[in-house]
Structure 1
Amino acid sequence: MIKDKRRMWLTAALAIAAFAGEDRASAQGCVAAHSNQRSMDELVRSLDGGTKYGWSIHNLTVDIGYRMFNSNKYFIGDEEIARPNAIRNHQNIFDMGVEYRFTPQWSFIADVPVFDGSRNQLYPPTGVFQVSGIGDITLGAQRWIFRPPTEFGGDVAVSASVKIPTGINNATGSALYKGQVVKATADQSMQPGDGGWGLMLATQGYKSMWTRADLYGQAQYLFNPRDTNGVLTFRSQPGQSVMSVTDQYLYRLGVSQGVPKLRGVALSLGVRGEGVPVRDLLGASNGFRRPGSVISLDPGLMVNVRRTTLSVNGPWALRRDRPPSVPELANNTKNGDAFFADYTVLVGLSHHF
């Protein structure tokens, strides 16, 4: 009976991880979705002779993540439009994560993102913008629902974190505007921070399937109650003169399979979705934002050697969409546009001390 209940809770949590936010918009590229996924080295640590959930009760884990993409495909709605002069938005996002486990189930978690990007802006103010800086830091706690190790070969973690507005949200650059060189605000997608306090809720889980294979799922949603942050955008469209503080979300679902005769090596294949919704779940959604969605095929490789795990993922976009924002809907203006990337490169390195 206990095992049946555990299976029921695990299945429900994996379903949440798979479908949370599916009916909302998501995106990358021009759309300012900077969230990184947390490491899931539980999927491969056991393949190298270790046990899932770490090496001791009091253990420190440090994750270093890197995300890169170059968005140059122009979309209005879900339709790609050919343009002779494409905006190229290149972004590098680094993320340092720390997890300190107090008990087998409870952990302190923290993430510090570092943003570096460039954008050749073709509409006034016209120029090449280069922005670098620390993003918004998150601090929180995570709990595995079932005490490890479990008898049924799986578990689910839930977490809650506070997002602190530590990142710059008003970065500027030199640009040409009405025949003069001016200091102009960089595009919203280039800002390391958003200027608002937020709450990040997340879950991740896995369930052993067949030999050396696991079903995995992850989901996270960032609540940003603040409406706008007061940073001017230089835009003339009604209701878009200041930047909106947007919600963001990410979800993944897939299967990981250990490679035969290769110790501590696993391949994975799944679906990944991410983005910025049209309307926030808490608070108003005025100001300028680019809501949008990307759903990608998400192949990956994980390699574990003792206490270190390397993961590489290459999500390839299957569907991209840029729906109208709240000001565009309210003023019956034309549907906004956005540039998207064809693929993203994600690299993670996790070490257990």
Structure 2
Amino acid sequence: MKFTLKFLAGTAICFFLAQTNANAQGCVAIRSTGGLCSMAEHPDSVTSDGGWLFNSNSRYYRSYKHFVGNQEQHERIELGTNVINHSYAQDLTLTRIFNNRWSFSIDVPYLVNSRSSLYEHGGKERRLTHSNGLGDVSLRAYAWLLNPAKAKKGNIQAGLGLKLPTGSYTYTDYFYNTGANGAKTLGPVDQSIQLGDGGTGIITEINTYYNFSHRFGLYGTFYYMISPRELNGVSSARGGTPSAKAVANGSDIMSVPDQMMVRMGANYGVGKFDLSAGIRYECLPVKDLVGGSNGFRRPGYISSIEPGVSYRVHKFSIYTFVPVAIARNRTQSISDKITTQLTGVNAHGDAAFADYSVNLGVSFKL
């Protein structure tokens, strides 16, 4: 009982931070933000010698409902013109806990995606494009800001790191009925199923908790990734020639956007189980904090309720979280705004979102 219940309320929030693209799941390309942050171990539970923590997190979602702003385009499903993305991410995270205050982690994602659509294949028949392979690896350092010896009920953890451009952002597949005489064309797959974005991101993170008792506590997480690179040089024309409209509004080249996530909620310990309920907000901003914001992107956000449960035995934990969408919004991009200015007619692109995502994982203290 020394640690299992008293601090379990503060641990569940960081057994997974998945996203991603992930992560506004679907055509809004928010990628996985990693499988674990070092808050999975409260500082009072760690000896002065520290230790190692290994986490494996799996995430799956299916996006198929289209939105323009916050309005769902029900007719897309009825007519069979909707885009359907299936996305699977496997994050492997190794954390070195140096002591009860400092830690460092490396997250390695492997992604498997498929995208079914009509419009990308000449509008004649529904076809698939795929991508699979290593995603963007991230490195992060964490520190508890309050002295664990004095902050018994709550603490704040700050994280800083880098997201490296290790995942392919030029992944190609065949698009059918797009070439001369209906031939297939080899070109870069859609931004939403690319394995990476081509940029080095600066990761900032805040994790906090407060335990009212050995059973009940609150948690909060703030994550923001700054992407200084504006464009990655990859054409959005899927192997074809960009349209005059795309060239005019700058959407002919893929953008490298920022990402944001906020989570907050409560945990309740029952024996070796920890039950959690919270809200989750994921966003791909219209404008980046640093650098330009032009290029092709589908900005938007998704708000979800996020129930979860974890089970802990000694050095082993297993958990599941299922964020369920309650609000989805495909916001107006910079390219949309440029088109609006050029034509005098309001332009607002759409994006497909998922109803929910499923996250399953295990954690071992080595």
Task: Provide TM-score, normalisation by structure 2.
Answer: 0.83
Match of residue 114, structure 1, among 110, 115, 121: 110
| Residue 241 (structure 1) aligned with residue 238 (structure 2) | no
SS at 1:329's partner residue? Answer: helix
**Cα offsets for 1:250-276 (capped at 9, x unmatched):** 1100000012xx3x2110000001121
Match of residue 255, structure 1, among 266, 278, 283: 266
The Cα of 1:42 is off from its aligned counterpart by 6.1
Q: Which moved more, 1:152-161 or 1:271-280?
A: 152-161
**Cα offsets for 1:72-113 (capped at 9, x unmatched):** 111111001111212110100111111101222111111111
| Superposition RMSD in Å | 2.1
Higher relative contact order (CA 8 A, sep 6+): 1
Percentage identity across paired residues of the two chains: 35
SS at 1:344's partner residue? Answer: strand
**Cα offsets for 1:176-196 (capped at 9, x unmatched):** 214121102101010111111
Where does structure 1 lack aligned partners over 5 or more consecutive residues?
A: 1-16, 18-25
Structure 1 residues 265-304: aligned runs within 5 Å: 265-304=273-312
Matched residues, number: 321
Structure 1 residues 78-89: aligned runs within 5 Å: 78-82=70-74, 83=76, 84-85=79-80, 86-89=82-85
Q: Which moved more, 1:149-158 or 1:168-177?
A: 149-158
| Residue 91 (structure 1) aligned with residue 83 (structure 2) | no
The Cα of 1:57 is off from its aligned counterpart by 2.7
**Cα offsets for 1:234-290 (capped at 9, x unmatched):** 15333111100011111100000012xx3x211000000112100111000111000
Where does structure 2 lack aligned partners over 5 or more consecutive residues?
A: 1-13, 15-22, 341-345
1:21 maps to which residue?
none
1:124 maps to which residue?
120
Q: Structure 2 vs 1, CA of residues 155 and 119 (structure 1 numbering), >3 Å: closer, same or farther? A: same
What amino acid is aligned across from residue 79 of structure 1 in structure 2?
Q
| Residue 169 (structure 1) aligned with residue 169 (structure 2) | yes
Structure 1 residues 149-168: aligned runs within 5 Å: 149-168=149-168
State whether residues 125 and 184 of structure 1, in contact with CA within 8 Å, keep that contact through their aligned partners in structure 2. no
SS at 2:288's partner residue? Answer: coil
The Cα of 1:175 is off from its aligned counterpart by 1.1
State whether residues 278 and 325 of structure 1, in contact with CA within 8 Å, keep that contact through their aligned partners in structure 2. yes
Q: Structure 2 vs 1, CA of residues 97 and 106 (structure 1 numbering), >3 Å: closer, same or farther? A: same
1:3 maps to which residue?
none
How far apart, CA to CA, are the structure 2 residues paired with 1:305 and 1:42? Answer: 18
Structure 1 residues 1-353: aligned runs within 5 Å: 27-36=24-33, 39=36, 52-54=44-46, 57-82=49-74, 83=76, 84-85=79-80, 86-125=82-121, 127-176=127-176, 177-178=178-179, 179-234=182-237, 236=243, 237=246, 238-259=249-270, 262=271, 264-332=272-340, 334-353=347-366
What amino acid is aligned across from residue 35 of structure 1 in structure 2?
S
